Amino acid sequence: MKTALECMACYLRQTLQVSRIATDDETLQLAALRRVAGIITALDMELTPPENSVAVYEAIADITGCRDPYLNLKEQSNRAALAMLPECEKKIAGSADPLMTALRFAIGGNIIDYGAMHSFDVDAAMEGCLKSTFSLDHSAELLQKLHGLGKNGRILYLADNSGEIVYDSLVIRELVDMGLSVTVAVKSGPIINDALRADAGVCGLQEIARVIENGTCCPGTPLQSCSQELQQEFYEADLIISKGQGNFETLSETDVEIFFLLTIKCSVVGAHLAQISGTPEDALSGAGELVLYHHRGNKQSHA
């Protein structure tokens, strides 16, 4: 997905939001805005929005001196998700389709995104995700693929945000219980509220799955910039599950088959997904629609 004109205003919005979290000094906040205003005039519009955002966030960190402004919010998100985990586990255990229920919780958890939104109602999202109709629903294909994999089939799970990764753990535990081997990829350094290795540790993922870093501080998975370890896992996995908008934006045009799980929080992302999936654009307006999208790459696996 290429960077759109609308992204320019979004970078400035994020700059003001982040700089206000990082510092109370309005002089530094203004300096950050001016620096980013200069940066966005020279961005490569052929790159994806997450790739271009790296320079934006580096500039903010350089000026404010704060490398992880969302640290406290990330910790709060993890604690809140952990508090909800027992109830989620209870509903999964009592469900006729535990894996699908876990997937719904994971997709609903994608609302926790401080880059796309500065406010959101997690409780409402987690309650609604069990009842809502997906705006794009390839869940039957995903379930068929997963159940068709033999024991020790290799799954690469691309994590997105802190807090959200706690809900991802529900899916990953279901996959492990099926006998599948799961590798979870997190970011290598702070960027917005994206999950790091420490966030995976909060919900014990390292005890049931292999956790790796993708080698970048990009809020997505830009393959060419990722570590050799991530690229090897990506191309050797039997199935890839990708969480969130940032991963979708960086991987939506790859040749590899991917199942994308996300909540649409941006009209530009919604329009792009509608175009490549053949979905009516008004069905993906960016108002929090739940999506499970099968990107077939070159494998043409649609039943």
CATH code of 170's domain: 3.40.50.10880
Looking at the fold, whether 180 and 88 belong to one and the same domain comes out as yes
Instruction: Quote the CA–CA distance of 193 and 81 in Å, as a whole number.
Output: 14
Q: Is residue 303 part of a domain?
A: no
Looking at the fold, whether 18 and 120 belong to one and the same domain comes out as no
Looking at the fold, whether 109 and 252 belong to one and the same domain comes out as yes
Looking at the fold, whether 186 and 48 belong to one and the same domain comes out as no
Q: What pairs with residue 155 in β-bridges?
A: 182, 239
Q: Is residue 301 part of a domain?
A: no
Looking at the fold, whether 238 and 99 belong to one and the same domain comes out as yes
Looking at the fold, whether 171 and 226 belong to one and the same domain comes out as yes
Q: Is residue 278 part of a domain?
A: yes
How many domains does one find in the chain? 2
User: What local confidence, expressed as pLDDT, does residue 302 receive?
Assistant: 34
pLDDT band at residue 196 using 50, 70 and 90 as cut-offs: very high
Looking at the fold, whether 133 and 36 belong to one and the same domain comes out as no
Output the DSSP codes for 159-209.
Answer: --BTTHHHHHHHHHHHHHHTT-EEEEEE-SS--TTB--HHHHHHTTGGGTS
Structural domain ending residue among the three candidates 64, 84, 104: 64
Residue 212 phi/psi, 5-degree rounding, is: -125, 165
Q: Is residue 159 part of a domain?
A: yes
Tell me which residue range forms the domain holding 10.
6-64
Q: Is residue 193 part of a domain?
A: yes
**What does the block give as tokens for 24?**
């109370």
Looking at the fold, whether 34 and 78 belong to one and the same domain comes out as no
Mean pLDDT, the chain, whole residue set = 92
Kindly report the pTM of this predicted structure.
0.93
Q: Is residue 228 part of a domain?
A: yes
Structural domain ending residue among the three candidates 39, 64, 89: 64
Looking at the fold, whether 144 and 162 belong to one and the same domain comes out as yes
Neighbours of 34 (CB within 10 A): 13
Q: What pairs with residue 217 in β-bridges?
A: none
Looking at the fold, whether 111 and 232 belong to one and the same domain comes out as yes
Comparing C-alpha atoms, which of 143, 13, 123, 21 is closest to residue 77? 123
Looking at the fold, whether 75 and 114 belong to one and the same domain comes out as yes
Question: What mean pLDDT do residues 206-218 have?
Answer: 97
User: What local confidence, expressed as pLDDT, does residue 123 receive?
Assistant: 59
User: What local confidence, expressed as pLDDT, does residue 210 receive?
Assistant: 98
User: Which is it for the CA torsion 78, 82, 87, 91, positive or negative?
Assistant: positive
Looking at the fold, whether 163 and 44 belong to one and the same domain comes out as no
pLDDT of residue 300 exceeding 60: no
Instruction: Quote the CA–CA distance of 270 and 263 in Å, as a whole number.
Output: 10
pLDDT in tens, 64-75: 999 999 999 999
Instruction: Quote the CA–CA distance of 131 and 112 in Å, as a whole number.
Output: 19
C-beta separation of 257 from 240 below 8 A: yes
Structural domain ending residue among the three candidates 17, 35, 64: 64
pLDDT in tens, 168-190: 999 999 999 999 999 999 999 99
Three-state DSSP class for residue 14:
helix
Q: Is residue 251 part of a domain?
A: yes
User: What local confidence, expressed as pLDDT, does residue 117 receive?
Assistant: 45
